[in-house]
C-alpha cells in the first residue's frame, strides 16, 4: 500500500536495514494484543478508575469514583474482546483504515479499549491531551482532517460535548463525536453523538467480520503503516503531528520493557496522562501490555492518590515528571502520606531536567531505584540503566535505548563539538521519525537532508557515553514537563487589540523548573490593560490552561541583539530577576 499522503516514508534501504537487524519484527498493536490474549487470557491487564478523565480528585478515595461505580479490572482476554467489539462498532459507523480520529480521554479504561479498537481497524488515533481546548482540538482536526472525535464526560468547568459540537459545526470532515459516557448532544449539534457503550454492544466482534475472504487484507493494518499521530511539544504556532508506525513503535515497547525490567509480574502505574508518549510507551502502559504485565491508571498524580494505588495494587514501576517526583519525595519524607511503598522497585523521572540534588533523595526516601528518562515524541529515548552506579543515575539523563541510535552534538555552525562540550543534539535511528505529518516546510528545518532530526536540546556526552541535558536551543518553555511553544502563546497575545508585540520566555521556578513570562509592548495611545486582563484574554481564546502565561510584564520596548532581533536571552535574564517578585 502506498504511504499515507503527508507522511515522509522510511527510505526502503533503511527499512530493510531495521528489519535485517531485528528492530522491526512485523508486529502490529492489534496482533500484539491478540497474541497476549491468546497466550494468557486470564491474566490481569488493566486496572482503571471507573470515573471520568484525569482531574484534581484529591478528595476522591481510591477504589471509588465520582459516580460511585467500581474500578475496571480487565484481563487480557477481556481487553481484547472489548477492543474487538468497539472495532466492529467503529467499522459499522463507517470509520475506515487510515481515517484519523482525535482521542481526548484521560486515565480511564475507555482510553485503552478505544485506541486498541482504532489500531485494530487501522484508523489512526490523534492523541490529544486532557487540558487541550478549542484552539488545539480545532487545529488537530483540521491538520489531520479527522473524521471522528472521542471525548469523555464533563469535568468541572469543561464539557467536552459542547466543544465537540462547536468543532463539528466548523469542520465538515468531522462526521462523528463518540462519547465515553452520556452521549446526549447539546441543543443545536449538527449530528447526534454516539455512545461508546453502543459501539461496545456491537453484536459481532471485529475479528469474526474480517475473517471473511472479502475483507482479508483490506482491513488489518500492515506493520509498516502509521499507527497513530502523536503531538510534538513544538516551537511553532501550533503543535505538529508526529506519525509513528507499528513496526518502529513496537520496537520501542519491546526495548523499553527490557531496559525498565518489566516481567509478567510487573505492575506499571500510569500517574501522568496516558495519551503522552512517556506514560504510553516508555515503557508506559503499552510496554506493560507488551510484557504481559499489568497496567494501573491513576486518576491523578497527587501523592495520596498515586501512592495509595502503589500500595493497593503492589505497583513495581511508575514514571513521573520532576515536579511530581518532588511532591512525592516531600510527602513521604514529611510523613504527610503514609502508604506501603515496599513493592516499588523503579521510579522513573523524565520529561524535564531532574536536578541531581533531588535525584539523590529518591533511593533513601522511597527505597527504590531511580531511572532518568530523556525522551521525545519524535523518537529517541534515553534511559539510565537500572544497574548503573548511583552517580551515573543521579547526574545523567541516560543513554539511547537502541545500539543503532546515532547521536551528534554540534556547535552553532553544525560542526561537531569536542567530546564533553555542550552542543545541539541531532539524532537518527530505527525509531526516530523521518518527518512531521503534512509539514514540508517545517521538516526542511527540523531535519537535515540525510535524515538527522534536530532535537532542539543542548546536551553534552560524558566520557562513558551518557547524556547530560544542558539546556535548549528551541523557542519553547518546559513547564514541569509540559511543553509550550513560545510562538503559539505570542500569537494569542498579539490577537489582543492593545498589544503591539509579545515575547514569551521561561523564568526559573523552584518547583516546576520553568514557568512562562510574557513580555508585552502595548500600542501607542491605548488604554493599558492590566496583566491579569491579558492573561484572562489568552485563556478566553480557548487553549490548554498550562499555556496561559504565569506572568505578564508590560515593557516599553524589547532588548535587541546586534542584528536587531528580539533578544530572548536578555528577556530570560530579566524574567529571572523578576521571578522573585509577586506576579
Ligand atoms: C517527552 O516527550 P516530549 O515530546 O513531550 O518532549 C521532548 C522534550 C525533549 O526534546 C527535551 O527538551 C525535554 O522534552 N525532555 C527533557 C527530559 N526528557 C524530555 N529535558 C531534560 N531532561 C529530561 N529527562 O518529554 C518524553 C517522551 C518519552 C519519554 C520521556 C519523555
Domain boundary among 317, 333, 350: 350
Closest atom of ligand 1 relative to the 282 alpha carbon: 29
Query: Per-residue pLDDT averaged across 373-389, rounded?
Result: 98
What distances in angstroms separate CA 350 from CA 132, 233, 347, 480, 549, one per listed residue?
Answer: 21, 14, 10, 10, 23
Domain-embedded: residue 299: yes
What distances in angstroms separate CA 209 from CA 44, 215, 260, one per listed residue?
Answer: 27, 8, 38
Q: Are residues 168 and 310 in the same domain?
A: yes
Q: Is the CB of 384 under 6 A from ligand 1?
A: no
- In this predicted structure, the answer to whether residue 582 has a pLDDT above a threshold of 80 is no
Confidence of residue 237 (pLDDT cuts 50, 70, 90): confident
Q: Which pLDDT does position 50 carry in this prediction?
A: 64
- In this predicted structure, the answer to whether residue 57 has a pLDDT above a threshold of 50 is no
Q: Is the CB of 455 under 6 A from ligand 1?
A: yes
As a whole-number percent, the residues of the chain with pLDDT over 90 amount to 90
CA distance 208 to 447: 43
As a whole-number percent, the residues of the chain with pLDDT over 70 amount to 94
Q: Are residues 346 and 493 in the same domain?
A: no
Domain-embedded: residue 26: yes
- In this predicted structure, the answer to whether residue 55 has a pLDDT above a threshold of 50 is no
Higher pLDDT, 244 or 61: 244
- In this predicted structure, the answer to whether residue 138 has a pLDDT above a threshold of 80 is yes
- In this predicted structure, the answer to whether residue 406 has a pLDDT above a threshold of 60 is yes
Q: Is the CB of 397 under 6 A from ligand 1?
A: yes
CATH number of the domain where residue 557 is located: 3.30.300.30
Domain boundary among 319, 350, 381: 350
Q: Which pLDDT does position 204 carry in this prediction?
A: 87
**How far, in Å, is the centroid of ligand 1 from the Cα of 270?**
17
Q: Is the CB of 351 under 6 A from ligand 1?
A: yes
Domain-embedded: residue 448: no
**How far, in Å, is the centroid of ligand 1 from the Cα of 351?**
4
Domain-embedded: residue 104: yes
Domain-embedded: residue 443: no
- In this predicted structure, the answer to whether residue 264 has a pLDDT above a threshold of 60 is yes
Q: Are residues 184 and 42 in the same domain?
A: yes
Query: Per-residue pLDDT averaged across 26-39, rounded?
Result: 96
Listed range (61-65, 395-399, 512-516) with the worst mean pLDDT: 61-65
Q: Are residues 73 and 207 in the same domain?
A: yes
The span from the first CA to the last CA of the chain, in angstroms, equals 55
- In this predicted structure, the answer to whether residue 484 has a pLDDT above a threshold of 50 is yes
Percentage helix, strand, coil, to 5, in the chain?
A: 30, 25, 45
CA distance 128 to 566: 32
Domain boundary among 350, 380, 409: 350
Domain-embedded: residue 375: no
CA distance 133 to 156: 14
Q: Domain range for residue 558?
A: 476-577
Q: Is the CB of 401 under 6 A from ligand 1?
A: no
pLDDT digits (tens, 9 = 90+) for 565-577: 999 999 999 999 9
Query: Per-residue pLDDT averaged across 388-416, rounded?
Result: 98
Q: Is the CB of 374 under 6 A from ligand 1?
A: yes
Question: How is residue 195 written as a grid cell?
Answer: 455512545
**How far, in Å, is the centroid of ligand 1 from the Cα of 418?**
24
Instruction: Please report how many Cα atoms fall inside a 13 Å half-sphere around the Cα of residue 347, on the Cβ side.
Output: 31
- In this predicted structure, the answer to whether residue 53 has a pLDDT above a threshold of 50 is no
> How high does pLDDT run on average in the chain?
94
Domain-embedded: residue 374: no
pLDDT digits (tens, 9 = 90+) for 516-561: 999 999 999 999 999 999 999 999 999 999 999 999 999 999 999 9
The 3-class SS string of 191-218 reads CCCEEHHHHHCCCCCHHHHHCCCCCCCC
CA distance 4 to 10: 12
**How far, in Å, is the centroid of ligand 1 from the Cα of 176?**
33
Number of Cβ within 10 Å of residue 407's Cβ equals: 19
Count the helices and strands in the chain (H runs, E runs): 19, 25
- In this predicted structure, the answer to whether residue 56 has a pLDDT above a threshold of 50 is no
Number of Cβ within 10 Å of residue 507's Cβ equals: 22
Confidence of residue 69 (pLDDT cuts 50, 70, 90): low
Closest atom of ligand 1 relative to the 276 alpha carbon: 5
pLDDT digits (tens, 9 = 90+) for 203-227: 888 988 876 544 555 567 899 999 9
Domain-embedded: residue 387: no
Question: How is residue 243 written as a grid cell?
Answer: 506519525
Closest atom of ligand 1 relative to the 378 alpha carbon: 4
Question: How is residue 321 written as a grid cell?
Answer: 515528571
- Say if CB 310 and CB 318 are below 8 A apart: yes
Contacts of 534 (CB under 8 A, 6+ apart): 493, 496, 499, 518, 520, 549, 552
CA distance 470 to 201: 52
Confidence of residue 51 (pLDDT cuts 50, 70, 90): low
Q: What is the DSSP letter of 485?
A: E
- Name the helix (H) or strand (E) containing 359: helix 356-366
Query: Per-residue pLDDT averaged across 448-471, rounded?
Result: 97
Q: Is the CB of 230 under 6 A from ligand 1?
A: no
Query: Per-residue pLDDT averaged across 111-115, rounded?
Result: 98
Q: Which pLDDT does position 583 carry in this prediction?
A: 56
Count the domains in the chain: 2
CA distance 269 to 341: 13
- In this predicted structure, the answer to whether residue 428 has a pLDDT above a threshold of 80 is yes
**How far, in Å, is the centroid of ligand 1 from the Cα of 469?**
10
Q: Is the CB of 376 under 6 A from ligand 1?
A: yes
Q: What is the DSSP letter of 416?
A: B
Q: Is the CB of 104 under 6 A from ligand 1?
A: no
Amino acid at each position: 500500500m502506498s504511504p499515507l499522503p503527508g507522511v515522509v516514508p522510511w527510505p526502503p534501504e533503511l527499512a530493510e536495514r531495521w528489519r535485517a537487524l531485528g528492530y522491526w519484527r512485523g508486529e502490529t498493536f492489534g496482533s500484539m494484543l491478540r497474541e497476549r490474549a491468546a497466550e494468557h487470557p486470564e491474566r490481569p491487564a488493566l486496572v482503571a478508575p471507573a470515573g471520568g478523565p484525569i482531574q484534581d480528585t484529591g478528595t476522591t478515595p481510591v477504589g471509588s469514583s465520582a459516580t460511585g461505580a467500581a474500578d475496571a479490572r480487565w484481563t487480557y482476554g477481556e481487553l481484547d474482546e472489548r477492543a474487538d467489539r468497539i472495532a466492529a462498532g467503529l467499522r459499522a459507523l463507517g470509520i475506515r483504515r487510515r481515517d484519523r480520529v482525535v482521542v481526548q480521554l484521560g486515565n480511564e479504561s475507555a482510553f485503552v479499549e478505544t485506541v486498541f479498537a482504532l489500531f485494530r481497524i487501522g484508523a489512526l488515533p490523534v492523541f490529544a491531551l486532557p487540558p487541550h481546548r478549542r484552539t488545539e482540538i480545532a487545529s488537530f482536526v483540521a491538520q489531520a482532517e479527522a473524521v471522528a472525535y472521542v471525548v469523555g464526560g464533563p469535568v468541572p468547568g469543561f464539557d467536552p460535548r459542547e466543544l465537540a459540537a462547536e468543532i463539528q459545526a466548523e469542520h465538515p470532515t468531522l462526521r462523528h463525536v463518540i462519547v465515553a459516557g452520556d452521549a446526549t448532544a447539546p441543543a443545536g449539534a449538527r449530528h447526534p453523538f454516539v455512545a461508546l457503550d453502543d459501539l461496545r454492544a456491537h453484536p459481532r466482534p471485529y475479528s469474526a467480520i474480517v475473517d471473511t475472504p472479502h475483507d482479508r487484507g483490506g482491513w488489518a493494518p500492515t506493520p509498516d503503516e502509521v499507527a497513530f499521530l502523536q503531538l510534538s511539544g513544538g516551537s511553532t504556532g501550533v503543535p505538529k503531528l508526529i506519525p509513528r508506525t507499528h513496526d518502529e513503535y513496537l520496537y520501542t515497547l519491546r526495548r523499553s520493557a527490557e531496559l525498565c525490567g518489566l516481567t509478567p509480574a510487573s505492575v506499571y502505574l500510569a500517574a501522568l496522562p496516558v495519551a503522552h508518549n512517556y506514560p504510553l510507551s516508555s515503557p508506559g502502559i503499552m510496554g506493560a501490555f507488551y510484557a504481559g504485565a499489568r497496567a494501573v491508571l491513576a486518576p491523578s498524580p497527587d501523592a495520596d492518590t498515586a501512592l495509595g494505588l502503589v500500595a493497593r495494587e503492589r505497583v513495581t514501576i511508575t514514571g513521573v515528571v520532576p515536579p511530581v517526583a518532588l511532591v512525592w519525595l516531600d510527602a513521604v519524607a514529611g510523613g504527610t502520606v503514609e502508604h506501603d511503598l515496599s513493592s516499588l522497585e523503579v521510579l522513573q523521572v523524565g520529561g524535564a531536567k531532574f536536578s541531581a540534588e533531588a535525584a539523590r533523595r529518591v533511593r533513601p526516601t522511597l527505597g527504590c531505584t531511580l531511572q532518568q528518562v530523556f525522551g521525545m515524541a519524535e523518537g529517541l529515548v534515553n534511559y539510565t540503566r537500572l544497574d548503573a552506579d548511583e552517580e551515573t543515575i543521579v547526574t545523567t539523563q541516560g543513554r539511547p535505548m537502541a545500539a543503532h541510535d546515532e547521536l551528534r552534538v554540534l556547535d552553532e555552525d553544525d560542526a561537531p563539538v569536542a567530546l564533553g562540550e555542550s552542543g545541539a543534539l541531532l539524532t537518527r535511528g530505527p525509531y526516530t521519525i523521518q518527518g512531521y505529518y503534512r509539514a514540508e516546510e517545517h521538516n526542511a528545518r527540523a531535519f537535515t537532508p540525510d535524515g538527522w532530526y534536530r532535537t532542539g536540546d543542548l546536551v553534552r556526552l560524558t566520557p562513558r557515553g551518557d547524556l547530560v541535558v544542558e539546556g535548549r536551543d528551541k523557542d519553547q518553555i518546559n513547564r514541569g514537563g509540559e511543553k509550550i511553544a513560545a510562538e503559539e502563546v505570542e500569537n494569542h497575545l498579539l490577537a489582543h487589540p492593545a498589544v503591539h508585540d509579545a515575547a514569551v520566555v521561561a523564568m526559573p521556578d523552584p518547583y516546576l523548573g520553568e514557568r512562562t513570562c510574557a513580555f508585552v509592548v502595548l500600542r501607542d495611545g491605548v488604554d493599558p490593560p492590566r496583566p491579569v486582563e491579558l492573561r484572562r484574554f489568552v485563556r478566553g481564546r480557548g487553549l490548554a490552561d498550562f499555556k496561559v502565561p504565569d506572568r505578564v510584564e508590560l515593557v516599553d520596548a524589547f532588548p535587541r541583539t546586534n542584528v536587531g532581533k528580539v533578544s530572548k536571552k536578555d528577556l530570560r535574564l530579566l524574567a529571572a530577576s523578576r521571578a522573585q517578585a509577586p506576579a
